[in-house]
């Protein structure tokens, strides 16, 4: 085959230099036609749109054409031609064809359209080749980039916090232990407990549940930082909103109070939603039409409205007066369930909500204590269809108060001595939050299950691929 450098289909479809010789490579979506001419819809992942390859059967022998079936990977040399068909500007009239890889029609699982999302999860190695997952994973990329851009443009530093840690950041959830000990022959100490001094790190370690504690060290030196990395929680909660491995974005800012923190969270979320609408238009339109007819409307609604801000105590009053029957009863002091959060957002306010000042007992030890002796300066951002999308707080910067909470909650101080020291040396007010990247992805794609917005979901009893 003649060498012509490859054009991505996304670029090709907006070209107007008709007559040019081009090369495209990609995977066959469909092939149809008659005895004179065949049409191949080819996709290379650069866009949700396929390019149409027009094949004049008289120009090719049967042997070349036979393996060009759905799923096969081919390279095409041809001429760019203005398309007569609807909805496409350009097509390619093939001069030369090469098959890189065949896909046996009897075995390739993505023959026809309309597979269930459940089935597609079982073929996670192939699902990125569907329109739906192509759209979602392109959006994942664009939003990842937007997150870095947002913070970079505003003077935040990307701070790399460890994946393996010896501290349980906040008791945020059960942890995956990291060990090189032989499970069949564990060494025991005199006290009958596993002797971790013989383990790789010489102590118990686990996969991080949050980069926050180390992130705070970054904020107390660089001023404003963010983390964006994988996070692990061994919570056995099989819900459409929990993964065992997910990605979290955690900004932490010196001198910010809870109001600054709320303003940052709201501005950040709106920026990302606006970015998705501006840069992923065709993919969002596809998802809107296929899965969630109110998606674009909902995204615009969030952009156009101020988030409602109220205290936990006020939220509880509304829930108690609602007359609504909840699966989990609700009263002051209980942690809010997704059903309560969604009632406030979807039924009561019909708007994103930021709840603040939660009871101390249901929140983490590091949150700044209010003067009332009962509540802490926590803030959760609650979104329609999702419930909690962000959890954050102003941090306790007073050493004595922090230590009191540490003792009350029965935490071990030795794994976090370094964290506690920041309150001794140049302590300062500061605040931050964690945004679950996949929760954001659920919101901007309109998908209903968190397993469908990450390429290879990790959930209880499932670590395939």
Q: Could you list the residues that contact ligand ATP (CB under 6 A)?
A: 172-173, 233, 235, 242-243, 246, 248, 388-391, 434-436, 438-439
**What does the alpha-carbon distance between residue 14 and residue 272 come to, in Å, rounded to a whole number?**
26
**Helix and strand element counts for the chain (H, E):** 13, 16
Query: Among residues 396 and 438, whose Cβ is nearest to ligand ATP?
Result: 438
Task: Give the nearer residue to ligand ATP in terms of CB position, either 175 or 248.
Answer: 248
Residue whose CB is less far from ligand ATP, 48 or 382: 382
The CA–CA distances, whole Å, from 165 to 151, 243, 365, 391, 416 equal 25, 20, 18, 21, 10
C-beta closer to ligand ATP: residue 298 or 363: 363
Q: Residue 152: how many CA atoms within 13 Å on its side-chain side?
A: 7
Nearest-angstrom CA–CA distance, 57 and 248 = 52
Question: Shortest approach of ligand ATP to residue 212 CB, angstroms?
Answer: 9
Beta bridge mates, 294: none
CB 41 within 8 A of CB 52: yes
Which residue, 285 or 388, is less far from ligand ATP as judged by CB? 388
Report in angstroms how near the CB of residue 179 gets to ligand ATP at its nearest.
Answer: 22
What is the largest distance, in Å, between two alpha-carbon atoms of the chain?
85
Tell me how far, at minimum, the Cβ of 355 lies from ligand ATP, in Å: 12
CA distances 149 to 146, 209, 392, Å, are 5, 25, 21
DSSP 401-454: HHHHHHHHTT--SGGGHHHHHTTTSS---EEEEEEEHHHHHHHHH--S-GGGSS
Cβ-based nearer residue to ligand ATP, 218 or 434: 434
Euclidean distance between CA atoms 146 and 138, whole angstroms: 12
Of residues 372, 371, 361, the one with CA closest to residue 405: 361
Residue whose CB is less far from ligand ATP, 156 or 246: 246
Antiparallel, parallel or unpaired: β 73-82 and 21-33: antiparallel
Q: With DSSP H G I counted as helix, E B as strand and the rest as coil, what are the percentages for the chain, rounded to 5?
A: 35, 25, 40
Strands (E), 261-336: 308-311
Q: Which is nearer to ligand ATP, 115 or 121 (CB)?
A: 121
Minimum CB separation from ligand ATP for residue 106, in Å? 38
Q: In the bound complex, what is the minimum distance in angstroms from residue 452's beta carbon to ligand ATP?
A: 13
Residue 6 CA to residue 24 CA, distance in Å, equals 5
Q: Which of 206, 250, 207, 191 is nearest to 432 (CA)?
A: 250
| Shortest separation between residue 191's beta carbon and ligand ATP, angstroms | 32
Q: What is the spatial distance between Cα 370 and Cα 376, in angstroms, rounded to a whole number?
A: 5
Which strand ranges, in their side-by-side order, compose the sheet holding 164-165?
164-165, 205-207, 177-178
**Of 138 and 233, CB closest to ligand ATP:** 233
- In the complex with ligand ATP, which residue's Cβ is closer, 27 or 437? 437
Q: Where are the alpha helices (DSSP H) in 21-88?
A: 62-65
Structure letter (DSSP) for residue 194: B
- Closest to ligand ATP by CB, 286 vs 312, is 312
Q: What does the DSSP 8-state code read for residue 340?
A: H
Closest contact distance (angstroms) between CB of 83 and ligand ATP is 43
């Amino acid at each position: 085959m003649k060498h012509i450098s490859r054009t991505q289909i996304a670029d090709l479809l907006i070209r107007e230099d008709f007559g040019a010789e081009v090369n495209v490579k990609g995977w066959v979506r469909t092939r149809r036609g008659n005895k004179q001419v065949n049409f191949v819809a080819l996709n290379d992942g650069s866009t949700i749109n396929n390019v149409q390859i027009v094949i004049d059967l008289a120009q090719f022998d049967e042997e070349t054409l036979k393996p060009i079936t759905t799923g096969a990977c081919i390279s095409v040399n041809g001429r760019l031609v203005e398309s007569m068909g609807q909805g496409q500007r350009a097509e390619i009239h093939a001069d030369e064809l090469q098959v890189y890889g065949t896909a046996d029609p009897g075995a390739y699982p993505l023959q026809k359209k309309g597979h269930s999302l459940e089935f597609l999860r079982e073929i996670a190695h192939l699902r990125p080749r569907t329109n739906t997952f192509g759209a979602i994973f392109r959006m994942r990329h664009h939003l990842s980039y937007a997150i870095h851009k947002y913070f970079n443009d505003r003077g935040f530093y990307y701070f790399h916090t460890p994946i393996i840690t010896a501290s349980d950041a906040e008791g945020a959830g059960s942890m995956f232990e990291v060990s090189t000990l032989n499970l069949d022959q564990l060494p025991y100490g005199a006290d009958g407990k596993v002797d971790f001094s013989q383990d790789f790190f010489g102590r118990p370690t686990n996969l991080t549940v949050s980069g926050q504690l180390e992130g705070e060290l970054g904020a107390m030196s660089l001023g404003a930082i963010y983390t964006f990395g994988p996070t692990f929680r061994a919570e056995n909660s099989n819900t459409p909103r929990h993964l065992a491995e997910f990605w979290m974005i955690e900004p932490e800012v010196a001198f910010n109070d809870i109001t600054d923190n709320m303003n940052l969270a709201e501005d950040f979320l709106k920026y990302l939603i606006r970015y998705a609408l501006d840069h992923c238009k065709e993919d969002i339109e596809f998802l809107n039409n296929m899965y969630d007819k109110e998606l674009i409307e909902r995204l615009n609604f969030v952009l156009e409205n101020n988030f409602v801000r109220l205290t936990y105590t006020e939220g509880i009053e509304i829930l108690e007066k609602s007359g609504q029957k909840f699966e989990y009863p609700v009263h002051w002091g209980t942690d809010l369930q997704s059903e309560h959060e969604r009632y406030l957002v979807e039924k009561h306010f019909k708007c994103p909500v930021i709840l603040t000042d939660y009871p101390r007992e249901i929140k983490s030890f590091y949150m700044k204590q209010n003067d009332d002796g009962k509540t802490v300066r926590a803030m959760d951002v609650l979104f329609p269809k999702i419930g909690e999308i962000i959890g954050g707080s102003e941090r306790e910067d007073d050493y004595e108060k922090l230590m009191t909470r540490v003792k009350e909650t029965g935490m071990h101080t030795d794994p976090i001595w370094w964290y506690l020291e920041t309150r001794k040396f140049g302590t300062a007010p500061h605040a931050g939050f964690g945004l679950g990247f996949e929760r954001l992805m659920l919101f901007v794609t309109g998908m209903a299950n968190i397993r469908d917005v990450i390429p290879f979901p990790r959930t209880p009893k499932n670590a395939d691929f």
